[in-house]
Amino acid sequence: MSVVAEIMCSHCGAPISFETGEIIATCKYCGYTAVIETGKAFTFEHSMLQNKYDQIKIEELTRNWMRAGFLKPTDLAKKAKIMEKNLVYLPFWVVSAEAESIYKGIFERITPPIVKEGKIKKKYDWLIIARKATEFPTREYDVPLIGKIPYDFRKIEAFAKILNSEIDKREAVESAKHQIEEHHHYLVQQDVDKIIEMKDKIEISQTVYLHAPIWFIKHQYKGEIYQLLIDGATGTIIKGDIPSTGFGIF
């Protein structure tokens, strides 16, 4: 359920509207970012990535993607009808962490099995989407952090939609830790067949609230609707549904 409500922007006085479940909201008139519950300023780092594409260029990218790759129907670029091209600034939490896992396990791929010990140490800029119901392939999105700048509402296109955060910083950090642990668990399982013990240590160095420009493209091909997600900062295709080329279905 999404009920729109408003608080007053304590910087410019304009109404900041937000929906049920949103925790952090940004004023579209002045860029002031507030914690909804208290109305007070959001005091952590708020960054953004800049979109470099307009509707025409994004359509070009879409058609190029449709033309490339042998898995796609050959007439896709010609026949697909683009229904929607929406630029959305999606909210993310970027949790920078150094994670170390020390483990001991049994390696059963040789006879007799041996006990093996090891250590994994890695640095991450772990991405957590700050929306609960938005379907987004976070692990497939290589967020171009190099282009990160302080959030500036003047750099946001009038036609773009900005989504607010539904997850607070603490929750984002917890999710990131949990996901990193799961990831390390997965990595350890590549090395040993049975884990005897495993100890993780995760140190968070920084957590940044980030708005990233993502183009949501919807196109129609042979009566079906397909979606394409494009990174507006780099033009990279994040994910695209590919119509089946299978014969004899109809």
By CB under 5 A, name the binding residues for Zn ion. 9, 11-12, 14, 27, 29-30, 32
CA distances from 180 to 3, 64, 90 (A): 34, 35, 22
- Of residues 24 and 127, the one with the C-beta less far from Zn ion: 24
- Of residues 11 and 116, the one with the C-beta less far from Zn ion: 11
Name the minimum Å distance from CB 160 to Zn ion. 17
- Of residues 29 and 216, the one with the C-beta less far from Zn ion: 29
Which residues, 6+ apart, have CB-to-CB distance to 233 below 8 Å?
49, 50, 51, 52, 144, 147, 212, 213
Q: Are residues 136 and 90 in contact, defined by beta-carbon separation less than 8 angstroms?
A: yes
Name the minimum Å distance from CB 4 to Zn ion. 17
Name the minimum Å distance from CB 16 to Zn ion. 7
- Of residues 153 and 216, the one with the C-beta less far from Zn ion: 153
Token digits of residue 250: 């109809």
Name the minimum Å distance from CB 7 to Zn ion. 10
Name the minimum Å distance from CB 39 to Zn ion. 12
Give dist(CA 25, CA 249) in Å, integer.
Answer: 47
- Of residues 34 and 228, the one with the C-beta less far from Zn ion: 34
Residues in the chain: 250
- Of residues 34 and 238, the one with the C-beta less far from Zn ion: 34
One-letter amino acid of 65: W
Name the minimum Å distance from CB 5 to Zn ion. 16
List the beta strands (DSSP E) in the chain. Answer: 4-8, 15-19, 24-26, 33-35, 46-48, 81-107, 114-129, 149-150, 161-162, 194-221, 224-231, 237-240
One-letter amino acid of 170: R
Give dist(CA 140, CA 111) in Å, integer.
Answer: 38
